[in-house]
Amino acid sequence: MKSKYFVLGAIMAGSIPLSGCSSEKAVLSEFIKSDVIEDYYGYYQIEVKVVDGKVDKVNILKTPDGESQPYSDFALPELIKNSIGVTNSSEIQSVSGASYTSDGYRLALQSALDKL
């Protein structure tokens, strides 16, 4: 039976259901926190949980605010969804219209994965 995980981010008003792997087949790791990544609009930081070498869950810890907030609001849920099951941030496609957000998120994701 598949479990559902809910990703809650500081910038999101709700939650996004994502399919996870079967809890009977995998032992979950601890969350790995990324470095704080700076881009043109501000700072990104995430934490990831990895199971069997693949991203299982992502939590947003820090994102830029101000003028980039609307881009983060629509791009981050898609980026998080696309992160589940990947082993490297290069597997994540940019979200159209949110290049800086996509780049900042990917750098934060790779920062966390590099700590494995």
Question: What is the structure's pLDDT at 29?
Answer: 63
Report the amino acid identity of residue 4. Answer: K
Which one-letter DSSP state was computed for residue 14?
Answer: S
CB atoms within 10 A of CB 61: 16
Distance CA 66, CA 8 (A): 20
Residue 21: which pLDDT band, with cuts at 50, 70 and 90?
Answer: very low
Distance CA 47, CA 59 (A): 5
Tens of pLDDT along 45-92?
999 999 999 999 999 999 999 999 999 999 999 999 999 999 999 999
Instruction: Return the SS3 of 7.
Output: strand
Strand partners, 10: none
Report the amino acid identity of residue 89. Answer: S
Domain count, the chain: 1
Instruction: Return the SS3 of 103.
Output: helix
Question: What is the structure's pLDDT at 75?
Answer: 97
Task: Tokens for 99, please give them.
Answer: 């290049």
The answer, yes or no, to whether residue 113 has pLDDT greater than 70, is yes
Residue 12: which pLDDT band, with cuts at 50, 70 and 90?
Answer: very low
What is the span of the domain harbouring residue 77?
4-113
